[in-house]
Amino acid sequence: MSTHSDVKRLTAPDIRARKGGTPIAMLTAYHAHTAALVDRHCDAMLVGDSLGMVMHGLESTVPVTLDMMILQGLAVMRGSKRALVVIDMPFGSYEASKEQAFLSAARIMKETGCGGIKLEGGRRMAETIAFLVERGIPVMGHIGLTPQSINTLGSFRAQGRDPADWAPIEADAQAVAEAGAFAVVIEAVAEPLAARITQEIAIPTIGIGASAACDGQVLVLEDMLGLSPRVPKFVKRYGELGPAIESAVQAYAEEVRARTFPAAANVYPVKKPG
């Protein structure tokens, strides 16, 4: 089987080069068919560990495993051909040491063929980011609200609403950029702070609940499609697929119960004898 495609996939350096240019459109994707749809319009896709909540109904991203990320990452790679695919490092797969991070990241890259990984944390992860980048792993950072820290944060609340709290978040952004990350996600950070960080650092900022001044935006696909039961308040809904799916399912169940659905006799008519 040939794996060659004429379409050139965007790379981490391509995304890095978009600093200050045309904004980067990014969405999450967890499976092949939605990845194919997203691929036609977005520059990058994130196989986010949010899949734990969106696909598995978990309360947080903490229980997500490396095997779960690799399985869904493979599906997204199969479904897409143009966008850069970035896969989240799940909680517990990279924090213990830079060596542990390298082994986990290398597994993700080798087993999925994706173009980069994402990990959460600013200054505390800078040494690890540099270690990975020096060894050939493109890294996307993630600062501001870092959902894997939910058990120490206590809640998913916005960061930097008080200007007195800005300095450490700016220092996180600077540390991630200087460590060699090709881009950084800024999650749930007060608008003027996200805009200021975008001016200050040399790599693209990808906002989520941050600022239109960022170099790009990422949203969870199911949130913007109206498929998630609970959605952060900053998310604009571009579709209402939840109600659309439910009314299709209801129509189907009613037709089955009324025996009015298309029967095999109509689809495969029996040949007349002779």
Calpha distance 207→218 (Å, rounded):
6
Angle CA(11)–CA(12)–CA(17) in degrees, nearest 5? 100
Task: Give min distance, CB of 247 to ligand KIV, in A.
Answer: 28
* Closer by beta carbon to ligand KIV, 51 or else 137: 51
Task: Give min distance, CB of 189 to ligand KIV, in A.
Answer: 12
> Catalytic residue among 59, 99, 127, 187, which?
187
* Torsion of Cα atoms, 184 then 169 then 223 then 72, to 10°: 40
Q: Is 200 a catalytic residue?
A: no
Angle CA(194)–CA(197)–CA(200) in degrees, nearest 5? 155
Torsion 41-42-45-48 (CA) sign: negative
Between 150 and 179, how does the x/- string for binding to ligand KIV read (CB under 6 A)?
A: ------------------------------
- Residues 84, 119, 139, 185: which binds ligand KIV (CB under 6 A)? 185
Residue with tokens 């058990």: 151
Calpha distance 172→169 (Å, rounded):
5
Task: Give min distance, CB of 192 to ligand KIV, in A.
Answer: 21
Axis-axis angle for helices 166-178, 126-134 (nearest 10): 20
Q: Show contacts with ligand KIV in window 217-246 (CB under 6 A).
A: 218, 220
When computed from its CA atoms, the radius of gyration of the chain, rounded to whole angstroms, is: 21
Size of residue set near ligand KIV by CB under 6 A: 11
Q: With contact defined as beta carbons under 8 Å apart, do 41 and 25 qualify?
A: yes
Task: Give min distance, CB of 46 to ligand KIV, in A.
Answer: 6
Q: Show contacts with ligand KIV in window 72-91 (CB under 6 A).
A: 88
Angle CA(210)–CA(216)–CA(152) in degrees, nearest 5? 40
- DSSP three-state, residue 87: strand
Query: Which listed range, 42-50, 107-115, 122-130, 256-264, lies at the site for ligand KIV (CB under 6 A)?
Result: 42-50
Residue with nearest beta carbon to ligand KIV: 48
- Residues 77, 208, 221, 227: which binds ligand KIV (CB under 6 A)? 208
Query: Which listed range, 45-53, 89-97, 104-112, 124-132, lies at the site for ligand KIV (CB under 6 A)?
Result: 45-53
User: Counting contacts by CB under 6 A, is residue 50 touching ligand KIV?
Assistant: yes
For ligand KIV, the binding residues (CB under 6 A) are 28, 46, 48-50, 88, 185, 187, 208, 218, 220
Residues with catalytic annotation? 187
